Amino acid sequence: MRVFLNVEELKRVLKLIDKTVGTVEKTNRIVGFKYENGFLNLYGSDGCLSLKAKVSEMNPTTLSFSVPLDILKFFVFELSGNISIYSDGNYVVLKAKDENLKLKTERFSFKNFEERYEELINIPINVFVNDLDFVSSHLEEGNYVDFYFGSKVRMVAENGGIINYVVRDKKSKEYSWRIPYYSARHLIKALSEIKSGELSVGEGLNKLVLSSDYLFNVCGEELDHLDLVPLENEIEKSEEFLRVSLKSIRRFLRRAMISGRYSRLKIFGNEKGLYFYAFSENMEYRGHIDISSKYIFQTTTNAYFLRSALNRIGSETLLFFKGEKYLIISTMQKRRFILLPLL
């Protein structure tokens, strides 16, 4: 295998792979090299989210291998111009103007990557990224993001009693898919590097497939569309009763974290105003906004998670809705929702 690459293009792809694989699991920090259909393609994966990036035309070869991402990044960091890559299958040599790097190759492990898919929606990358960033903003390891396609596109994620929900007017065939939190966050970081353009989202054989200038696969499992019915009924039957500026409550949310990330926050509303209580075994914090609430309500949640969600909700005016089981916070556009259990 021999190929010449533009260093800036190689840096761009390596940065994208870096965002895709994440930093937690060190064994995932490798780059796969493989010839396909006249091009050299680079691969990266976090174990669920996988990326395929076309980098250069090259002559056919049967060789495929992997090398450590961090060593490759370090070597090309200060380079410019072009770089040649040669491999005999056992070693790979990268040669620049006056220096070279020789690495023992590792087994190519990026198999079962899916390129064929049935398109579900086409959406601007920045819209998809911002929605996914909001809906996953309160999650932790072990949580999931659920995608529902059909009469509309919905994203849903729950953690600690908080449900974040996004809805967009994009029609497609009915299909649903659940992906792990860590891959959702890696996908956000990777797509944020691409920034502009359209993203095609589709159903693969065993993966969710996303295509722009680059191709992504995301593992997961199918869901039952009926799981979404109770949530949508709750939102549909709720009644708006209050409008509050995000600015007026942002300070209280920040201050409510006085005892740390896992501070519990109680929000209470009545005709005299909104009250915020943060408490732990040895501490109690109290804040008040002088704004009358039509309904008496009370909810308890995690201050940090709620603050993270509200910081990404995308509106300075918050609408409060009272449902049967939840206090619902939304925006003027009514596309993003936060649901907090009523006590």
3-state secondary structure of 11: helix
Give 15-64 pLDDT, tens digit per residue: 999 999 999 889 999 999 999 999 999 999 999 999 999 999 999 999 99
Element (H, E) at 243: strand 239-245
Place of tokens 């396909």: 36
How much is the average pLDDT of 213-233?
A: 96
Distance of alpha carbon 297 from alpha carbon 324, whole angstroms: 11
pTM comes to 0.95
The mean pLDDT of the chain is 95
Distance of alpha carbon 192 from alpha carbon 339, whole angstroms: 27
**Across the strands, what pairs with 223?**
none
Distance of alpha carbon 31 from alpha carbon 75, whole angstroms: 14
Question: Which among 220, 221, 207 is positioned nearest to 52, based on CA atoms?
Answer: 207
pLDDT of residue 258: 79
Place of tokens 């709620």: 306
Question: Looking at the predicted structure, is the pLDDT value of residue 282 above 80?
Answer: no
Distance of alpha carbon 251 from alpha carbon 22, whole angstroms: 32
3-state secondary structure of 310: helix
Question: Looking at the predicted structure, is the pLDDT value of residue 122 above 90?
Answer: yes
